[in-house]
A and B are shown apart, each in its own frame.
Chain A
C-alpha cells in the first residue's frame, strides 16, 4: 500500500472556484513537500512544511500540516487555468529520499 495517499485522484473545477487536495501519511511526517507537475515535465517546488500546525502561503496556494503531522492539505483559492496540472506530495523519509503520493490531477475549466 502507498505510504502517502492523496485525495482526490482527480479534480475538475470551474475557474474561480476554491479547491483542496489532501495528503495522508501512515507515518509521522518530518518534512512534507508539495510539487506541481505539468504533463510530461519535471516537478516544480511549491512549499515545504516541517512543524506540526505549520501553514505556508504563496500567491493563491496555501499548504498546511496538521498538529499530529500525519496529514497535509493544499488549498487553492479562486483557481485559474494556470493552476491546472498534477499536484504531488512527497515525504522526506530521511536518508536523502522522498516518498511520493500518486498525485492529484487538477483540471480548471475557463
Chain B
C-alpha cells in the first residue's frame, strides 16, 4: 500500500476559477477526512466520510466547497469561484472506523492569485 495519495501537489489558479482536488485513501480505510491548513496554523477539520456517506461538515466549509466520495474509495474536494482566502494547504487523511490512527497525505497546496 502506498499510503494516502493526493493530487495535484500544487495548484495555482486565478480568483474566480473552480478547482478540484483528489484524494486516494489507504484501501482498507473506511473513513476519509479533509482538513485545511493555513500558514503558521495547525490543520482545521473540514469534513469527513464513512464509506460514501458524508457524516459531518465544518462551518468552515462554505457553499462554494463540495466534497464527494461516490464509491467509498477516492474523494474529491471542489472549490467554486475561488477567493484569495482559499489559499492554503488542503490535507486528506484516512482511518479505519475504529479510529485507531489517522494517516495523512502529502497535501495539495492551493494558491489563488
Binding site for B on A (CB under 8 A): 4, 31, 33, 35, 40-45, 48, 88, 90, 92, 95-103
19 contacts between A and B (CB under 8 A): A35-B104, A40-B89, A41-B106, A41-B107, A42-B4, A42-B6, A42-B104, A43-B93, A43-B104, A45-B103, A45-B104, A48-B101, A90-B43, A92-B99, A95-B55, A96-B31, A97-B33, A98-B45, A103-B42
Assuming the contacts A31-B99, A42-B91, A43-B91, asked whether A99 and B45 have C-beta atoms less than 8 A apart, the reply is yes
Q: Which residues of chain A come closer than 8 Å to B33, judged between CB atoms?
A: 96-97
Binding site for A on B (CB under 8 A): 4, 6, 31, 33, 40-45, 48, 50, 55-56, 89, 91, 93, 95, 99, 101-107, 109
Nearest-CB distance from A30 to chain B (Å)?
A: 10
